[in-house]
Chain A
Amino acid sequence: MKPRTRNLNGYAFDPSLSLLIDTVDINTITYPIPWEDLQPGPIGEYLEVVDYDPTTKQLYQPVDLNGQFELVNNGLDPSESNPQFHQQMVYAAAMLTITNFEKALGRQLFWSTRLLQGGDQYEQYVPRLRMYPHAFRDANAYYSPEKKSILFGYFSASPHNVTLQMPGSLVFTCLSHDIIAHETTHAILDGLHREYIQPTNPDVLAFHEAFADIIALFQHFTFPEVLKHQISQTRGNLDDQNLLGQLAQQFGVAIGRYGSLRSAIGQYDEQGKWSPKKPDPSEYQEVIEPHHRGSILVAAVFEAFLTIYKRRIKDLLRIATSGTGIVPEGELHPDLVNRLAGEASKSAQHVLMMCIRAIDYCPPIDITFGDFLRAIITADADLADDDKYHYRLAFIEAFRRRGIYPSGLKSLSEESLRHSSPSHFSEATNRNIGILLDFLKQFRERLLYETEREKIFNLTRMYIRGSAHIVGLHKRLSEKFQATYEFEKLTGLAFNWSKFDMTTASARSNPSFEVQNLRVVSRAGPDGKHVNQIVFSLIQRMGVVIRDGKFVRYYDPRSEVKPQGGIEVQGGSTLIFDLDAEDMRLKYAISKPLFEPLPSDSRKIRQPSSRIMKQHHFQKHELPESISEFAQYFGIGCNNRFGHMFSLLHNH
């Protein structure tokens, strides 16, 4: 029988902390990675570590984690000078991130496909994300959507703190847990929502950064060893939140710019004392630069975490201090340290899971921080009926204090934040939904016992496109679907052109869709509650001509060259179907509408949604002012379709 896990040695922070007597003991931890067969590299099911260094034109000998010494020793011992350990570290931290995502999402992960010449329908399955631990010589690391690879750099240190690093010594970004987790998250998010690199509103790019940072941060906090150390150092006020905030900020700062998002959590005063930063609602209104804006979201989630943690340790504090709240002099009892660290780690794990799960409840395009909050609340309420520690309230409160409000809501109660299930449809709409349900039932049945990722991928694609035996989802939507106002309103998408005045002769007969992210989901909640769902997204592209801030007309970008004042926009809807209900039903439609639907007035041309008008304004007036100098000089600006793909690359 194969073991359940493969334990691997790795750094908890990065090598620099092994040089400090204070932290040397906690800097090496074991990463428990679910067992899988590995080839030298390591190359497994999800990852291939390819240690080719183009600067030396050498492949560094790939590590074989199945070697006898490696097997008895939890892999290789941490070492800066052994590239094989670097490979192991990259593998371990990235796999931990992947495992956390799969656990939270209740399904297997897929990398974003490689798009091939010949149009949107040509794509290639990418089984493994590639990791290049020594790809270039610069203080940077990035995920390349083009190469489906993460490239790590190494460089000569220019430390702010010369006690942590020797000036001029080599620093390897591939040895930092936070950097690996951050970049892996970018790759995972690209596989889940590939449109999230289009800056359609000020939040989108900021979200990509913030989400990656949140995952890295809270994954880090799940290591109890790291927390124990910090907690045992405390004297006095035990629920002193500063201690965790300070720690959060320390993660990742050793390698310069990586901790930048976290500077929003707090700051050091002149005496070197750390204090949390007061939330400032005007920041969210004014700041556009993605990193700075992203830091607002990171700070919000961090505050929610602290609230949760404090609530969870209340009883422990009472016990420890006999109700006085004052900790006696001297060292803390190790049992107490253990318990506190355990609670902190558990809180972090919960926050991590909540944030990841929310991703399936987000719209497929144009995400805002408010959408993310609604997704967190809805996803969590689906899975955990009883919210005894008030996790959801902690999130709502933290977002509210930063002025992050979802649009179109009347109040910020949990109830109104939760997406509601649509019901009471007309017969025609029910028929439409029925068409989808039929399809999903067939699809689910076929997939029920399939575990191989590539097979699942191929089957999914076949079910979307259709084959000789299967009527694909595309065909069902374009041929059988009867456009009803209700369904168009629900999804915010167009199912025929009749109300769009598409006079261009070449416009195709029906609007087309892209189906993304069709997945069968099975999740387990904290109380053992199971949720079984099918999720998929519809995305539609449309051209809109806007001049002087006013809508002029629509055009079909597939058949008409971009006219003056034209912009290409997208609408999209994430549809979530509940499989547990007696009868399968549409549970949520989380939509970003293309147009403002009008009731029954059949003569009028539909107006683009206010969201589209905002997008136009943003891309025209605000975005050009906010893109980085780097992006401007090197042609990565707004006028290049690859621009935003590359913006992921160079912004650290």
Chain B
Amino acid sequence: MPEDSKKPITSVKIRMYKMGTGDCISLKFLHGTEATYSMLIDCGCIHGSQDRLSKFVKELIRDLDGHVDALVVTHEHQDHVLGFQRCEDLLVEGLSVGEMWMGWTEDDGKAKVKEWKTEYGQKKMALARAAEQLESEVRSDRFAKQLDGTQAADELLAFYQNFADAVRGFAALHANEEPENYKGPLAGMRIAKQELARDHENSYLKPGDILYDIQGLDGVRIYVLGPLQTYEQVDKESGEGDEAYRHNKKLDPDEFSLNELRRRLQDSDLFTRTINFSGDVASDAALSPFSPSSFAPRSVLKKSPYEKEDEAWRRIDAEWLQSSASLALRMNSLTNNLSLVLAIEFEESGKILLFPGDAEFGSWESWHTIDWSRTEPGSELTTEEILNRVVFYKVAHHLSHNGTARSIGLEMMNDPNLVAMATLNYEVISSGWTSTMPNRAILKELLERTKGRTIIQNTDDLFFDLDLTIPVVDKIEEYQEEMTDDERQLYTDSVVDDDLYVEVTINV
């Protein structure tokens, strides 16, 4: 293309739909007032009926004129793909796709990836089944009766029920509604991958990839930071840990990474197989730890302390199902860390928009190990520099503690005009999430760094402090006072707050 016919991007309209906790974000790249490129990143929220979600999707299709140049699906969690499932018809009919970008672990045309995904599917099925069993156990009469007579039995029962609810929330995030018939990926993921009409093959991206010369995106380069590919750090979601680092250069990186993913959940294999097994566990040689000759006859069991009626409070019939909670948490982190992470750079100004999906600490950490000169010989670019230049940050994982790394993440974003956008909405949220989102320290840090230019999907019922006395909106206002009048005016003018969405325009 001749130099003078180029249309460098001058601004981007970033729109977050208010579907509920979860991501549905569209980007319109503008050259002056002319839209030259569009992108949709995820379309989901934690739960919602077709009815409720349709109005958002209709607006989205209208706004994008029925076509999106790039559809990005960051990772396979319901709060990022449910919209595709619920509004399949609307989207299939109304939205055409230029190309589709996903992380390399979604490339199930590759036998190795497919094999791993099938195994991971078994974990999802186990989680869903265990959550269901746990739920029905803690709501059974038998369970309540076992707590009878114990101090604060009601509170204890409520505690267990909340626990079960939280596990169910995680199960719903990972698996379709019918766990018994679990087959393959989330429906929304399948629809996004297969059903939407598109012009090009799907692209599966790897860390270190750089996309450029994209038609309609003049002067834009897109850096791929995640999902990580050598996985030794994948479960370091807490920002701590002293795992041994192992490198085996002889292995194919895909293979190595997938094996590492397997290893992360391997100690739950026995649990998984047991839950997924529909027959009698005791008589299955592969699942029973001991041979049947070591089973006591029923008469012995009857006389054992386990069956004493006045000691029913010590029975442990449902305890083993609680293992599903640690499995849920590990799967949650694992999938979050498989998020496709994109940093969109505007060459002229050097400004960067960061879309990390729900990446957790392990992923953030890996971004810094990317050697950009391998993709671009001679380049001295570092990931730290990328973070230094971030002017827009889509907050990872709905403001949770693990979503945003501090010292190797947020604290490197020093642009004075930083804007942040968080997809948190207490009206539609999973049980158990309200205790982790928003993380107060992250929220505070964000407000400070952005001078209050932090846009939250819905601030209703959100409080800045744990005593629930200072509404987050008040705090945002307070931080905004640190902007100069001009800055503030500029910012206010750049935001459009509608019933269905909130949109911010970033000049690049």
Contacts and interface: CB of A to CB of B under 8 A. Distances in A.
Interface of A: 41, 43, 48, 50, 52-62, 81-84, 114-119, 122, 130, 132, 134-140, 144, 146-149, 151, 153-158, 160, 167-168, 170, 172, 256, 263, 289, 292, 564-565, 620, 624-625, 628-630, 632-637, 640-642, 646, 650
Contact of B150 (A62, A146, A292): A146
A43 B305 contact: yes
A139 B319 CA distance: 14
B282 interface: yes
Contacts of B268: 138, 155-156
Contacts of B316: 52, 54, 132, 135-136, 147, 149, 151
A158 to B, nearest CB: 3
7 contacts: A56-B288, A59-B300, A59-B304, A59-B306, A60-B295, A138-B326, A158-B263
B319 A151 contact: yes
A629 B436 contact: yes
Contact of B266 (A167, A289, A625, A630): A167
B156 A155 contact: no
Nearest to B152: A641
A115 B319 contact: no
B329 A630 contact: yes
A630 B150 contact: no
Interface stretch (B161-169, B418-426, B479-487): B161-169
Contacts of A54: 316-320
Interface stretch (B55-63, B197-205, B236-244): B236-244
B435 A635 contact: yes
Contacts of A632: 401, 435-436
A134 B288 CA distance: 11
For A122, A564, A630, which residue has the most chain B Cβ atoms within 10 angstroms? Answer: A630
B402 A168 contact: no
B25 to A, nearest CB: 25
A624 B466 CA distance: 9
A89 to B, nearest CB: 15
A635 to B, nearest CB: 4
Interface in B437-452: 440-441
Of the four ranges (under 10, 10 to 19, 20 to 34, 35 or more), the interface on chain B belongs to 35 or more
A147 B436 contact: no
B313 A114 contact: yes
B151 interface: yes
Given A82-B294, A642-B156, 13 more contacts: A52-B306, A59-B301, A61-B294, A62-B304, A119-B151, A130-B314, A146-B150, A149-B314, A156-B266, A156-B268, A629-B329, A634-B325, A650-B325
Interface in B453-479: 466-467, 469
Contact of A170 (B163, B289, B300, B402): B289
Nearest to B163: A634
A154 B270 contact: yes
Name the 9 nearest CB pairs between A and B, nearest first: A158-B266, A136-B320, A115-B151, A138-B323, A56-B282, A156-B269, A156-B270, A59-B301, A59-B296
Nearest to A291: B240
A137 B238 contact: no
B206 to A, nearest CB: 26
Contacts of B166: 633-635
B498 interface: no
Nearest to B148: A117
B267 to A, nearest CB: 4
A292 B240 CA distance: 10
Contacts of B266: 156-158, 167-168
Given A59-B301, A135-B319, A625-B441, A620 B155 contact: no
A117 B304 contact: no
Nearest to A81: B290
Nearest to B262: A158
B238 A629 contact: yes
A640 B163 CA distance: 12
B466 to A, nearest CB: 6
B355 interface: no
Nearest to A620: B466
B401 A62 contact: no
Contacts of B291: 81
A146 B159 CA distance: 13
Contact of B329 (A62, A136, A633): A633
Interface string B394-406: 0000000110000
B432 interface: yes
B409 to A, nearest CB: 17
B382 interface: no
B396 to A, nearest CB: 15
Contacts of A628: 238
Contacts of B306: 50, 52, 59
Contacts of A56: 281-282, 287-289
A191 to B, nearest CB: 16
A137 to B, nearest CB: 4
B378 interface: no
B151 A116 contact: yes
Contact of A160 (B153, B244, B402, B467): B244
B181 to A, nearest CB: 23
A621 to B, nearest CB: 9
Given A52-B304, A149-B314, A157 B282 contact: no
B118 interface: no
A333 to B, nearest CB: 37
B429 to A, nearest CB: 12
A60 B319 CA distance: 18
Contacts of B469: 564
B313 A147 contact: yes
A62 B314 contact: no
A635 B295 contact: no
B346 interface: no
Given A82-B294, A151-B319, A633-B435, A57 B289 contact: no
B314 A135 contact: no
B271 interface: yes
B274 interface: yes
Nearest to B237: A629
B273 to A, nearest CB: 8
Contacts of A135: 316, 319-320
A61 B291 CA distance: 11
A452 to B, nearest CB: 20
B308 to A, nearest CB: 10
B149 interface: yes
Contact of A138 (B242, B271, B287, B440): B271
Contacts of A61: 294-296, 300
A502 B316 CA distance: 45
Nearest to A633: B432
A41 B303 CA distance: 12
A62 B237 contact: no
Contact of B149 (A43, A55, A116, A633): A116
A565 to B, nearest CB: 7
For A81, A139, A140, A620, which residue has the most chain B Cβ atoms within 10 angstroms? Answer: A139
B326 A55 contact: no
B159 A50 contact: no
Contacts of A635: 159, 162-163, 166, 432, 435
B467 A565 contact: yes
A135 B440 CA distance: 38
A137 B270 contact: yes
A632 B282 CA distance: 35
Given A52-B304, A156-B267, A170-B289, A630 B320 contact: no
Contacts of B149: 116-117
Contact of B304 (A50, A565, A637): A50
Contacts of B282: 56-58
Contacts of B435: 632-633, 635, 637
Nearest to A48: B305
Contacts of B329: 629-630, 633
Interface in B314-351: 314, 316-320, 322-323, 325-326, 329
A52 to B, nearest CB: 5
